[in-house]
Amino acid sequence: MRSSRREFVKRSLTVVAGTAAMPLYHGTLSTAEADDLDRATFYKSPCRFCGTGCGVEVGVVDGRIVAVRGDDASPVNAGLLCAKGYGLAEVLYGEDRLTQPMIRNSAGALEPATWDEALNLIASRWTDLISAHGKDSVALFGSGQWTIPDGYAGLKFMKAGIRTNNLEPNARFCMASAVVGYLKTYGIDEPSGSYDDLDGADYFFLWGANMAEMHPMLFNRMQRRRQADPGVRIINFTTFGQMTNEGSDENHLFTPHSDLLLANAFAYVLVNEGMTDNSFITNHVNFRSEVTGSDVAIDMAAYTAFLADYAPAMVADRIGIPAAEIERLARMFGDPSKNVMSLWTMGVNQHTRGVWMNNLLHNLHLITGKVARLNNGPLSLTGQPSACGTCREVGTFTHRLPSDRVVANAEHRAEMETLWSLPAGTLPSPADSPLTHATAMWEKVAAGDIKSIWVSCTNPYQTLPNLNKYVDRIRSSGAFIIVSDIYPSASTIEADVVLPAACWVEKEGFFGNTERRTQHFAQLVNPPGEARDDTWQFVEVARRMGFGSLFPASWDANLARNLYNEYRSCTLGTKHDVATYDDLVASRGLRWPVIGGVETQIRFNSTYDPYVSASAPDGIEFYGKPDGRAVVWARPYEPPAESPDATYPFWLCTGRVLEHWHTGTMTRRIRALHQTQPEALAYLSNADAASLGVSAGDMVRITSRRGTIEARAALECRITVPDGMVYVPFFDQSRMINLVTLGAIDPQSKQPDYKKCAVQIERVA
């Protein structure tokens, strides 16, 4: 009975997408017998996977999830889901779920333990370390896959309890450049517009985003827009061919890292051909330059002079796109009769000048007035389901506090101390506890300065760049490693304590997606065995360390809800006001700022946004900046940290494929997805393969100055790379490409560049 129930039965799944390259489905995918499915009760939840934040309906029978379908009532996806969304139920039911805490014994083996033993051990080790080495000897490394209460509890525990700034998320590797980009340009994080703009824009420019595979639902909305209006165009700038190419009208391959030239060349054309919106510029824009760390005001004339180096004819060869094409595309962008969106993801953010590249894209919209207006705007796509809601809005970074408050600002710390009823001076300033971004934090662990780190809902032993720099040194440093996960992973292997976590709808939670939408989900099923949610884990250790007053016992019956309510109080009046608990339970999410229960579709525009002052010229005010004006930044080209040379002649680009989520811990347990992509391949061009003597399926060795791996070669298939490049996804624990990647970071956002480094390739004999 049980095993037949587990058989994967397809029920009326209809492919509805615009292109074969990017299937979206409508229907119910169920593991249940027909009778059982009839008995299922369906509950709403946001999807566990990507930052799109699709609404799913989860069918439960006898305490088990038996079906998943798209939520017709969700304004994000209107009933459709991608293949990962349909795999959600299987994520919970892999045979090797972690169900019991484990502690490494003196013989070096992980041994089952009780929660009390595990939590007491963590609390006593951390208390001892803090008294011997100070509060900055411990650290918490979290995740954009944390719920809002997980992140809020983790932040309060570390900053208000332990009083250390040693808190960072994996989101540092993901959208730190986008955050600093928004802050530098608008003075406030996250986009002005929303997904609604996808339904009305005329031209979509993709600047380094494989949307068909990574944000399939949003690509589908663009396809629907394109089908409805023959004038719509999708222009895909990319460094290699992927599924997104098939759904785009134009694909333009550019040289890695030359995007800085390309965006400035666009600006050159717009400015020099009079395609700028001068009244928008006069009313809403300042020009600044921050080339060598000195941030200075400039004017339009100086900006125009700066752009002189970026005439298409002068830079086209280095970009790899003909000058006439760049001019044609820039004119499309500037056409005053067209609504234009820019979209980008890791191509732009994982970049040693990711912040600059973000600013350059905002520039194009500001000089043409195509921002803060319906169907227009730059939209940075977020990767993880709550990178926005948890990491950015709650502020689970070393330097941040809730709602764009920062640790370095004494007033912000004081506001949080008041909200949390803490004595003045409780929250550590950067002088009390240094700000340590993610890769620097791991360097401190490797160097023995941080003596213990708690890894929660992330898998850094597979995803940190340049892993060889860290792993052996961490082992010999003797650091005490705590890992909370739902499955065994590259990180749990290294742990001294493993904590089994409850996943997604095994707990109550809240996620915040790319378009500022906060969404609630209820606990629908029990976690397996003794697994417990991350919030509970933090609260329990905090209490055992004497910080119980931060998390009153009276909250316990509704811990997530109480934490959310307290978090909400930190957002009120900050222009980040999130919705009430009840409104979230009753709705399919609401986009902040939410004032009087009403969400905000477009920020900075008085038609939609109550924070815009009545006197704002033409109803637009970039209120994140004191003078209400956004900044157009002069940002020059700067070469990448490493480029191919005679010894390491290939570009290595790394990233994802449709079927897998990051390190594959979840998607490798979704049978259909795992079977489609069982191992990570090394994608090569035919010409390079021929000159290397490599055929499809041969093993190749990929070596950089930092490390080496072997992988099977793939040629001319779904992913096509230009000559001189190899692409390797990072989902496969047996093909750890981060042994090879570069650790270089953007000096402003501290985000690593995983998209380019130099490697040599040889056939494995």
Q: Which does 345 bind (CB under 5 to 8 A by kind): ligand SF4, ligand MGD, Mo ion, none?
A: ligand MGD
Considering only residues 22, 32, 54, 123, which one is a binding residue for ligand SF4 as defined by CB under 6 A?
54
* Nearest 10 degrees: Cα torsion 734, 738, 739, 744: 180
CB of 344 to ligand MGD, least distance (A): 7
Enumerate the β-bridge partners of residue 484: 456, 499
The answer to whether the beta carbons of residues 713 and 697 sit under 8 Å apart is yes
Nearest residue to the partner ligand SF4, using Cβ:
85
757 belongs to the catalytic site: no
Q: What is the DSSP letter of 578?
A: P
Measured from the Cβ of residue 426, the count of other Cβ atoms closer than 10 Å reads: 17
Tell me which of 22, 54, 82, 174 is the catalytic residue: 174
**Dist CA 100 CA 486 (whole Å):** 10
**Dist CA 711 CA 699 (whole Å):** 5
Take residue 138 and report the two structure tokens written for it: 């411990």
Closer CB to ligand SF4, 145 or 492, in the complex: 145
Closer CB to ligand MGD, 205 or 623, in the complex: 205
Q: Name residue 619's amino acid.
A: G
Q: Which does 238 bind (CB under 5 to 8 A by kind): ligand SF4, ligand MGD, Mo ion, none?
A: ligand MGD
Closer CB to ligand SF4, 199 or 317, in the complex: 199
175 belongs to the catalytic site: yes
Tell me which of 144, 161, 187, 383 is the catalytic residue: 383
CB of 685 to ligand MGD, least distance (A): 15
Residues sharing a CB contact under 8 Å with residue 662, sequence separation 6 or more, in sequence order: 459, 463, 656, 730, 731
CB of 45 to ligand SF4, least distance (A): 11
Phi, psi of 450 (to 5 degrees): -95, 125
**Dist CA 398 CA 179 (whole Å):** 14
**Dist CA 354 CA 348 (whole Å):** 6
Considering only residues 18, 23, 85, 729, which one is a binding residue for ligand SF4 as defined by CB under 6 A?
85
Per DSSP, the three-state class of 745 is strand
Tell me which of 175, 341, 666, 725 is the catalytic residue: 175
Take residue 505 and report the two structure tokens written for it: 């709808």
Per DSSP, the three-state class of 579 is coil
Using CB under 6 A, which residues numbered 526 to 555 contact ligand SF4? none
Site stretch for ligand SF4 (CB under 6 A), options 3-11, 49-57, 346-354, 445-453: 49-57
CB of 46 to ligand MGD, least distance (A): 13
Closer CB to ligand SF4, 83 or 155, in the complex: 83
CA neighbor of 658 nearest in space, from 221, 68, 217, 238:
217
Per DSSP, the three-state class of 462 is helix
CB of 51 to ligand SF4, least distance (A): 7
Considering only residues 17, 22, 29, 50, which one is a binding residue for ligand SF4 as defined by CB under 6 A?
50
Considering only residues 140, 217, 263, 387, which one is a binding residue for ligand SF4 as defined by CB under 6 A?
217
Binding status of residue 216 toward ligand SF4 by CB under 6 A: yes
Closer CB to Mo ion, 383 or 624, in the complex: 383
Closer CB to Mo ion, 253 or 391, in the complex: 391
Tell me which of 145, 350, 384, 462 is the catalytic residue: 384
DSSP readout, 379-435? EEPP-STTIIIIIIIII-STTEETTTEETT-HHHHHHHHHHTT--TT-SPPTTTS--
Would you tell me which residues interact with Mo ion (CB under 5 A)?
A: 174, 383
CB of 201 to ligand SF4, least distance (A): 19
Site stretch for ligand SF4 (CB under 6 A), options 45-53, 127-135, 203-211, 573-581: 45-53
Closer CB to ligand SF4, 592 or 661, in the complex: 661
Closer CB to Mo ion, 85 or 383, in the complex: 383
338 belongs to the catalytic site: no
Closer CB to ligand SF4, 84 or 656, in the complex: 84
Binding status of residue 84 toward ligand SF4 by CB under 6 A: yes
CB of 87 to ligand SF4, least distance (A): 9
Q: Which does 47 bind (CB under 5 to 8 A by kind): ligand MGD, Mo ion, ligand SF4, none?
A: ligand SF4
- Could you give the residue ranges of the DSSP H alpha helices within 498-615? 534-544, 559-571, 581-586
Helix and strand counts by DSSP (H, E) for the chain: 26, 32
Residues sharing a CB contact under 8 Å with residue 108, sequence separation 6 or more, in sequence order: none
CB of 209 to ligand SF4, least distance (A): 13
CA neighbor of 23 nearest in space, from 152, 212, 253:
212
CA neighbor of 181 nearest in space, from 431, 377, 361, 397:
361
CB of 218 to Mo ion, least distance (A): 15
Closer CB to ligand MGD, 437 or 755, in the complex: 755
Binding status of residue 395 toward ligand SF4 by CB under 6 A: no
- Tracing tokens 């609390």 back to the chain, one arrives at 123
Residues sharing a CB contact under 8 Å with residue 345, sequence separation 6 or more, in sequence order: 208, 209, 210, 211, 214, 215, 380, 381, 383
Phi, psi of 13 (to 5 degrees): -85, 125
Binding status of residue 81 toward ligand SF4 by CB under 6 A: yes
**Dist CA 275 CA 431 (whole Å):** 48
Q: What is the DSSP letter of 676?
A: H
Enumerate the β-bridge partners of residue 56: 45, 70
Binding status of residue 82 toward ligand SF4 by CB under 6 A: yes
Q: Which does 443 bind (CB under 5 to 8 A by kind): ligand SF4, ligand MGD, Mo ion, none?
A: none
Closer CB to Mo ion, 45 or 345, in the complex: 345
CB of 731 to Mo ion, least distance (A): 13
346 belongs to the catalytic site: yes
**Dist CA 152 CA 144 (whole Å):** 12
Q: Name residue 759's amino acid.
A: V
Nearest residue to the partner ligand MGD, using Cβ:
347
CB of 83 to ligand SF4, least distance (A): 7
Per DSSP, the three-state class of 60 is strand
Q: Name residue 591's amino acid.
A: R
Tell me which of 44, 84, 444, 469 is the catalytic residue: 84
DSSP readout, 494-528? G-SEEEEBP-GGGS-EEEE-TTSEEEEE---SPPS
384 belongs to the catalytic site: yes
Would you tell me which residues interact with ligand MGD (CB under 6 A)?
A: 50, 84, 143, 145, 170, 173-174, 207-210, 213-214, 238-239, 256-257, 259, 345-348, 350, 383-384, 456-460, 463, 484-487, 489, 501, 503, 534, 653-656, 658, 660-663, 665-666, 730, 737-738, 741, 754-756
CA neighbor of 384 nearest in space, from 443, 463, 452, 440:
463
Considering only residues 21, 27, 49, 498, which one is a binding residue for ligand SF4 as defined by CB under 6 A?
49
- Which residues here bind ligand SF4, judged by CB under 6 A? 47, 49-50, 52-54, 77, 81-82, 84-85, 215-217
* Residues forming the active site: 84, 174-175, 346, 383-384
